[in-house]
Structure 1
Amino acid sequence: MEHPCIFLDRAELAGLVDKAKAPSSDWGKAYRQLLAAGKAARAQPALSVTFAGPAPASGDEHDYATEPPYGKKDGVANKSADRSDYMAAIKLGKSVRNLGLTYALTGKGEYADKAIELINAWCINPKTRMNPKFTNQQSKIELCITMPGMFYGSDLIWGYPRWDREHRAAYRQWVGTLVKAAMHWRRDNNFENWRLVLVSSGAIIAGNEKARKYAFARWKVLLDHQMNDDGSMKYELGRTNSLSYSLYAINAMVQTAEIARHFGVDLYRWRSPKGRHLALALDFHARYALDPKQWTREQMHPYKGLSAAFMLSDGSIMDLSMCPECAEAPDLYLLWEVVMGGWLAEPKTATDRPTVRDDYVMKQFERGTFILDLFYSEKWTEIAP
């Protein structure tokens, strides 16, 4: 297997470098912001579940420990919850992702060196490593939304010549163990969608072809299991923040679909036996992403998402409408929205959004992939390559 291959491959990276470095373009601005993020990540101290957080029920300080984010009612924050390990995992995923991307676009080894340092502390060092397993129900979603960032960053530095082979092999084994653990549980709601993001991305690092193919096959099964005939997400509708969690599930679906594209599997256009597909879910939710007040189900907290299908688990968002060049180049849109996590300015209100285009667009990559945008109307426009 040739790395990188999770969200970007070598050819895609090569085609993006010149565009990203154009100093006068929006991409030049975004590139400079990425460099700043990479520089900040280089200053990130080592992270470990052994440094802080609640005492694991097992008594083993190397176990991931977390407490439920909600109290007696769904959506009501449990202010006394100790989520130190989760906060550390978020920082880890973001930092390694940013370091990997900065290395991939600049070729500067100091970014790869720092990514390896963070990976070693979390996964390899006997004094600080996390045991690669899930410890409770909450750990399942938290690790599934944070670890893929580390997997993706490591994919981008995989060929770095100064990465010690023994350390890389130990990391690969660590990831493989976590992927195997994720194969031993299932859920009905968004946990399951995020589980597939972890399994598909982690399987690439671990070299586990069987697990990777399983994730893509399971994704197809979930369409009929999770989606109603109208495109709504049945297991999210009972939540107190039902719109947010519906789009949260779709976010994960899109990420797995993009990973699958790099292995010749088109989940973007796949239709289930009952005729359900990703576009159906996005069609249904588009109007509500544009105007959350139309949502008639419970939404305890105001929905603040912009491009919901591509809002990453760490909360980083980019509005496609802020970058006219992106609107005409879905490969760049993918790079900055899904892959880079969003470095362009986020509009503060709906009135700040430039009118780049008036349709809810489903564009097709020249290489045959769909990229989905949740702006401006519930209509789909398909542009053939």
Structure 2
Amino acid sequence: MKNKFFYMILAVLYGQLSFAQTPKLFLINADQLKAKKEAYQQKDKAIKPLVDQVVHKADAFLAAKPKSVMDKSSTPPSGSKHDYMSQAPYFWPDPSKADGMPYIRKDGERNPAIRKITDAVFLHGLTEQCQFLALAYYFTGQEKYALKASELLNVWFIAPETKMNPNLNYAQAIPGLNDGRGIGIIESRSLVELADWMGILANAKSITASQTEGIKTWYKQYLDWMLNSKNGKDEHRSKNNHGTIYDTQIVSYALFTDQKELAKKTITASLERIAIQLTPEGEQPLELARTKAYSYSTMNLNDGWFNLALLGTHAGVDVWNYQTSDGRSIHKALDWLIPYGMGEKEKDRKQIIPYNTSELYRLLTLAGTAYKNASYFKQAEALPKDKDTQLIELLYKP
């Protein structure tokens, strides 16, 4: 009886220790997140409403039915629904042709018909669900959130009958022209964030070691496909945000699968893109030439360069402070963008959709920390607040 009680105490202590461990994260500062968890446990008035919002969202996902690539109504040219597929968002039927083929490009104008193929929506949904479930588990310690995340992850990555094949051969196809393009690889960029949610869930009882290894194996296979496939090589050659975000994915997946040298090699080579993408003044000509000039400039920094900089701290490469011999840098790119994003300067380039200031909020918050400059935090505070900015504050603000 005494032995049984002793082992029960050990199990409780082990569980508490496991829950208290600092998670292995790449985009988020794990020590900062741990400090916020401790503040939440002390019912800190600033942190509690931020976490409560996360928990409320996670609660809504507890009843969510797992989605998979098998749920789409279309079948890829391979004949297997296990292969991801999507349609190019900015291509529309040619009105001069009876069958509309081949589709023609309207930059920045999304064809609503793309949503008939559900893989992109479901992959994004998986990442969002796992984000809130992982964070709710981390802050509350309630296993139900990890259990649900485990179910969702198993359906997408592990279960033989539903798992996605680790390729994007048929992403962003153009009807009448091709079955898929390298450009479509940008649709998997949410997997960069998912690696962090996996890190947060790593100590949960519901996430088994074999499941974690199974997902890491999937990531390794997908990384190999990105590096060696025709589509992957095509995307690597992209000069604009597609090239930056491709590199971000390679670095993230390499770090997640314990391939640090590959991550370091890739991120070092990525720095050569700065001379191509940025001017000495901080403009991004390749993004500014688009129909959503300021949105694309923000995305290239957010999903590309700033994520690369965060990953670089783990790969041993300083992206934050890198600059070319003629002064091109991501720091200057942010400073150029700020007055346009905040409405202090009139947007004189094409911007056919409303500008999303919450994306600028993340850039300013990260810059405040990276450059130890409180003025960035003050600028962030001047922006409109919403649920997105509250989540960014929880994840990234010191």
Of residues 321, 343, 356, the one that matches 2:390 is: 343
Deviations along 1:238-273, one digit per CA (max 9) or x if unpaired, are 211111111110112112211222454332112233
What letter is aligned with 1:132? P
- What is the CA–CA distance in structure 2 between the aligned matches of 1:204 and 1:243, rounded to whole Å? 30
Q: Does 1:182 align with 2:218?
A: no
Output the amino acid matched with 1:196: D
Q: What's the counterpart of residue 247 of structure 2?
A: 196
Hey, what does 2:187 align to over in structure 1?
142
State yes or no: 1:112 paired with 2:146. Answer: yes
Structure 2 residue 146 is the aligned partner of structure 1 residue 87: no
Give 1:39 deviation, angstroms.
1.6
Query: Residue 210 of structure 1: CA displacement?
Result: 2.8
Counterparts in 2 of 1:227-266, with a 5 A limit? 227-252=278-303, 253-266=305-318
Tell me which of 320, 338, 341 is aligned to 1:289. 341
**2:217 is the counterpart of 1:173:** yes
CA contact (8 A) 1:22 1:28 kept: no
The 5 Å alignment of 1:1-385 reads 3-8=23-28, 10-21=30-41, 23=43, 25-71=45-91, 72-81=105-114, 82-135=116-169, 136-137=180-181, 138-144=183-189, 146-183=190-227, 184-185=232-233, 186=236, 187-252=238-303, 253-291=305-343, 294-308=346-360, 310=362, 342-343=389-390
Q: Distance in 2 between matches of 1:132 and 1:255?
A: 23
**Alpha-carbon spacing, 1:67–1:247, altered in 2? closer, same or farther (3 Å):** same
DSSP-derived class of the 2:88 partner? coil
SS across alignment from 2:121: helix
Structure 2 residue aligned with 1:360: none
Q: Residues 207-228 of structure 1, C-alpha deviation per residue, up to 9 Å, x if partnerless?
A: 2223321332133122112112
Structure 1 residues 210-219 or 275-284, which shifts more?
Answer: 210-219
Q: Deviations over 1:253-301 (max 9, x none)?
A: 1122112224543321122333211111011111110118612221122
- Distance in 2 between the 1:301 and 1:111 partners? 36
TM-score w.r.t. structure 1 length?
0.76
Aligned-pair CA distance for 1:161: 4.0
Contact between 2:136 and 2:145, CA under 8 Å: does it hold in 1?
yes
Note if contact 2:240-2:277 (Cα within 8 Å) is conserved in structure 1: yes
Q: Is the 1:70–1:76 contact (alpha carbons within 8 Å) kept by the matching residues of 2? A: yes
CA shift digits 1:74-131 (9 cap, x unpaired): 0122122234111101111111122222222222222222212111111111111111
Runs of 4+ in 1 over 6 A off after TM superposition: 327-330
CA distance in 1, matches of 2:333, 2:188: 25
Unaligned 5+ residue runs, structure 1?
312-316, 321-326, 334-339, 347-370, 373-385
Change (3 A) 1:262 1:342: farther
Change over 3 Å in CA distance of 1:106–1:73 after alignment to 2:
same
Letter in 1 for 2:184: S
Q: Deviations over 1:37-63 (max 9, x none)?
A: 222232222121111253212221111
Separation in 2 of the partners of 1:92 and 1:255? 20
> What is aligned with 1:353?
none
Percent identity for Structure 1 against Structure 2? 23
Aligned residue type for 1:254: F
Q: Is the 8 A contact 2:216 2:257 kept in 1?
A: yes
The answer as to whether partners of 2:282 and 2:328 remain within 8 angstroms in 1 is: yes
Q: Is the contact between residue 100 and residue 112 of structure 1 (CA under 8 Å) also seen in structure 2?
A: yes
Q: CA deviation at 1:328?
A: 9.8
What letter matches 2:118 in structure 1?
Answer: S
Shift of 1:204: 2.4
Does the 8 A contact of 2:150 with 2:206 survive in 1?
no
Judge conservation of contact 1:248–1:309 (CA < 8 Å) in 2: no
Query: Residues 230 and 280 of structure 1 are in contact (CA less than 8 Å); yes or no, is this contact kept in structure 2?
Result: yes
Aligned-partner SS, 2:87:
coil
Q: For 1:222, give the aligned amino acid.
A: R
Return the alpha-carbon distance in structure 2 between the equivalents of residues 13 and 247 of structure 1: 25
Change (3 A) 1:242 1:328: closer
Partner Cα distance (2:220, 2:39) in 1? 35
Q: CA RMSD in A?
A: 3.1
Conserved? CA contact 2:90–2:110, under 8 Å? yes
With 19-28 and 40-49 compared, the bigger mean Cα shift is at 19-28
Structure of larger gyration radius = 2
